[in-house]
Amino acid sequence: MSATREQPRSRPRRFFTVADGGLLLFRVRDVPVLLAPSWWVGSLVVIVLYTPMVTRLLPDASPATSWTLSAAFAVLLGLSVLLHELGHVVVALRMGIPVRRLRLFLLGGLSEVARTPREPRQEGLVAAAGPVVSVLLALFCGLLLLAVPSGTAAWLLVAECAVANLAVGLFNLLPGLPLDGGRMLRAGVWALSGIRARGTKAAVAGGGVVAAALLLWAIFGMASGSEDRWLRLGVCAVTAWFVAMGAGAELSAENSRSWPDGLALSDLVRPVLQLPAESPVSDALAASAGRGVVLVRADGVAAGLLDENDAQRLAATSPQAPAELAAEPIRAETVLLASEPGEEIAERVRETAAWQFLVVDDEGRPAGVLRREDLRVALARRPR
């Protein structure tokens, strides 16, 4: 289950630390690998529901052995998901796609890429990497079973590992978002149609079909009295919920990324006004009505964009203070090129923590200021 950068800090190395999103286990090329609290809940559910099956498979096993093997299965399932997600991370990084983090949670995992793949090929290769890793591990464990005496605890552990990896690999090939199969479906439709949004809609519909099929399979197991009916019900209910929520999130993200036909960036940007950085903040605030204000120092270097909220607070107490004190720094990620495609602009705005962006022409001259709220309103109101 898949859907990404954090700089290393100079501090003593510890095996486990608490980070935003869960327990930090380790890093892969500066990508944090986190264990969310919900993973423990999911593993406990797997242990409770899987123990009766171990007892049936190994009738001579003691209760302690059954519980231990069930716990081992939960851990192996987590490791299988981890290796699966690492496949995504490695391929994404090799293709130049930054990854924010890898997170294990409940019964799955998520590799969070920092930007959308630019072409269908990238989307398809990153999505396929996880299932390929899982299937290869399942084949390796299957071959290892031939060398382990059957009917023993060791044999069951190897079989558990084979089943866990095969289940993770095959399940993620189902053609619905947010699963890898859904991303591969999106990549295929995107490549054929040339429109990413069309691929997303097809894969979201596939996600709905997958969620419905999981619930029907669980209901069938309960109705037929299947031996694994409770395990099936628990896993299917949680997974169907995950797929449905993930598909909805993917559709919402696609809508916020899409650029309506006929909408020009020039329709959204506000005129830009350049003022000396030492201008009184009250004057700069008055001049900012309906405009974006670039504050420029005496040496010609831009001090930043006037932050109206900070300027209002400063003007309330010190109206003659330099406007530079209320400037928001201009960073590389907050500068937009007027000639960029609309979808790339929408994605940049969505992924950058800033409320206004400086738009420049091909010569690097300020052409206007785009505010996040203006773009959000335009995308919400214009038909796609």
CA 336 to chain centre: 23
Alpha carbon distance 118, 4 (integer Å): 15
Alpha carbon distance 123, 182 (integer Å): 11
pLDDT of residue 125: 96
Task: Give residue limits of the domains in the chain.
Answer: 1-173, 175-257, 265-381
Q: Which of 246, 174, 240, 367 is nearest to 3 (CA)?
A: 246
pLDDT of residue 318: 94
pLDDT of residue 114: 78
Decide: residue 63, CB within 10 A, 0-12 exposed, 13-18 middle, 19+ buried: exposed
pLDDT of residue 151: 77
- 293-310 per-position pLDDT tens digit: 999 998 888 889 999 999
pLDDT of residue 19: 54
Annotated binding-site ranges: 84, 88, 180
Annotated binding-site ranges for Zn(2+): 84, 88, 180
Element (H, E) at 159: helix 153-172
- 6-25 per-position pLDDT tens digit: 333 334 444 445 555 688 99
Residue 331 is classified by DSSP as: -
Catalytic (active site) residue 85:
yes
Length of the chain: 384
Strand, coil or helix: 87: helix
Low-confidence ranges of the chain (pLDDT < 70): 1-21, 107, 382-384
What is each CA distance from 319 to 145, 282, 284, 335, 380, in whole angstroms?
78, 5, 10, 29, 37
Q: Given the structure tokens 């929520």, which residue do they identify?
A: 245
pLDDT of residue 17: 54
Q: Given the structure tokens 């919920």, which residue do they identify?
A: 241
pLDDT of residue 45: 80
pTM of the model: 0.70
pLDDT of residue 15: 42
Query: Token digits for 234?
Result: 């628990």
Work out the number of other CB atoms within 10 angstroms of the CB of residue 100. Answer: 19
206 within 8 A of 175, measured Cβ to Cβ? yes
Strands 292-296 and 302-306: antiparallel
Q: Which of 85, 160, 254, 347 is catalytic?
A: 85
71 within 8 A of 49, measured Cβ to Cβ? no
pLDDT of residue 3: 42
Instruction: Report the top-level CATH class of 265-381.
Output: alpha beta
pLDDT of residue 383: 54
Residue 147 is classified by DSSP as: T
